[in-house]
Structure formats: C-alpha cells, structure tokens
Amino acid sequence: MNRWESIEAFVEVVRLDGFSAAARKLKVSSSHISRLVSNLEAQLGTQLLYRTTRQLNLTDVGRLYYEHCKHLIDGFNEAELEVAHFQAEPKGLLRISCSTIFGERYIAPLINDFVARHPKLNVDMHFSNRNVDLVSEGFDLAIRLGVLEDSTLIARRLADRREYVCASPAYLARYPRPHTLAELQQHNCLVGSNDSWHFLIDGHRRALRVQGNWRANSGPAILDAVLKGLGIAQLPDYYVDPFLAKGELVALLEDYQHQDAGVWAVYPKSRHLSPKVRQCVDYLAQAFKQPHWSKP
C-alpha cells in the first residue's frame, strides 16, 4: 500500500474522530481505512491509535506524528487547489485602481488586451491619484508607484521607476547647474501636488522641501513648464525619458537619485488568490519586463 495513502487515512481518522467519517470523506470503505492505518503502524513499528468500540485516542507518538503529517496533507491540498485556481478561466468583475496619467497611458491598454483574451471577465478601472482602501472600497487590485508604505497588502514589483530632477538646456544657460541639494535653494523649483522632493540622503530616502513661483497638480503641466525653461522639476521616468534621450532635458543631481522606487501591483492578502487577480498580475508583470516608456 502507498505510504502517502496511509498517512492521508490516518490524518482524516484523527481529524474526523472516526474510521467511518474518514471513509466517507475519502470515499472508501471503513475496513480499507482500518487496513491503511494498521499498515502505517506496521511500517513505523509503533502504535499510533488506541482503539475501543466507543473511543479513539492518539498515543503520545501518534500525537507527535499527527502534528507533522497534518501539515503535509494541508500543503498537498493547498497545492492542488492553487493549480486549479491557476488553470481556471478568469471571470466575474475585476476592479482595478491606478493613478490617473500612468493608468491611462500604460495600464489601461494592457488591461484592455487582457480582457480581450478573457471574454468572461468584466473590468471596472478607477483612475485616481488617491491611494484607495482596497478592502473597504471593494477593489481587487491597485497599481501603485514609488516606494510603498508598510501595509498588510501583498505587493509584486512590476517594473523599476526612477524620479529625475531635470531642467532644459535653455534654463541651464541662464542659471548655474546645481551640484548639491543645498544649491536647489538658488533655483526656481516647479512644484507639483506637494512641495517636497525625494532624494537619497545618507543612504535613506528623504523628503526635501523646495520652492518656486510655479505650482500645478498635473504631471503633464509640470513637464511642459520645465521644457519651456521655467525652472527645475522632479518627474518620473515615464514623463521625461524621451526628452532626456533627445537632449531636450538634462538630468541633475543624479548622485542623490533614489533607486528603490518602482511600479507595484498590490492586492489584499488571501489564502486562495482568485484566477482573475493572479492571471492579471502575471500578465502585467510579463508586459512590464521592459517598461513601455523605455522602449526605443
């Protein structure tokens, strides 16, 4: 008899407190379950159970053996369920949250391609620069940018992300190029949604307050202003990479650039991740092996 089959029978007998209940669970006869457990005891050379007509009790060694074996059975069942979930067709409603500009440019086209492959799937994409509460607001998945705060969410890195301090050649022709963070005080800094920029300082990501005569809560608006020489800006790579490559912008203070930012898929922790979320995240991870904004 197979050792694994005997272990499974033993674990179910203990869990369900009886041979008959274990037999019903495993869809075999009670006598077959009894033979499996007896065979296991013979192979181990020890008694695992005290059997009477009314009671079933573990021996000391039986209790120890059960504690180890139940994790084996749970792991096996978990593995089979994970495979079934992985192979299942994504279906139902998939609610996704993402920041507005990045989501519209890069996430929406990929999600549209994913939906085209899975016609049983319904999608609701929500674009907002606010970090939604996935659980209370009913989202399955969020795409977040930068450095993640500690949370109970599961996070998978999809791509690297860099934040560049940059200026146009025309601006640098009028003002000296900054080489230290302190020199930013001498420049007109184009401010976005908040007046702090992030840098690598003494090995840690730190916020540094900046100031200038221009502010907007729009990345494209900041990009236009820096291209027109109005000041210095800090913008993510997906805004500025093409302009840096063409020389229309110049990267500054690169020694202070933080390297740990990224593009992340985050979702609530679940014992069994649904096929729609798992396969969507896998699809995005494959697509972002080379980020779209970095392609020639």
In 10 A of CB 155, how many CB atoms?
A: 14
pTM given for the model: 0.64
Whose CA is closest to 141, among 292, 290, 274?
Answer: 274
pLDDT digits (tens, 9 = 90+) for 257-280: 887 678 999 999 875 678 899 999
pLDDT digits (tens, 9 = 90+) for 235-259: 999 899 999 999 999 999 999 988 7
Percent of the chain with pLDDT over 70: 94
CA–CA separation, 217 and 32 (whole Å): 71
Percent of the chain with pLDDT over 90: 51
Compute the residue count for the chain: 296
pLDDT digits (tens, 9 = 90+) for 189-248: 999 988 899 998 888 888 999 999 999 989 999 999 999 999 999 999 989 999 999 999
Whose CA is closest to 226, among 277, 170, 157, 274?
Answer: 170
Q: What is the DSSP letter of 247?
A: T
Task: Kindly calculate the radius of gyration of the chain based on its CA atoms and give it in whole angstroms.
Answer: 29
Half-sphere exposure of 7 (CA within 13 A, CB side): 15
CB 214 within 8 A of CB 228: no
Pairing status of strand 154-160 against strand 262-267:
antiparallel
What residues have CB less than 8 Å from 77, skipping those under 6 apart?
A: none
pLDDT band at 150 (very low <50, low <70, confident <90, very high): low
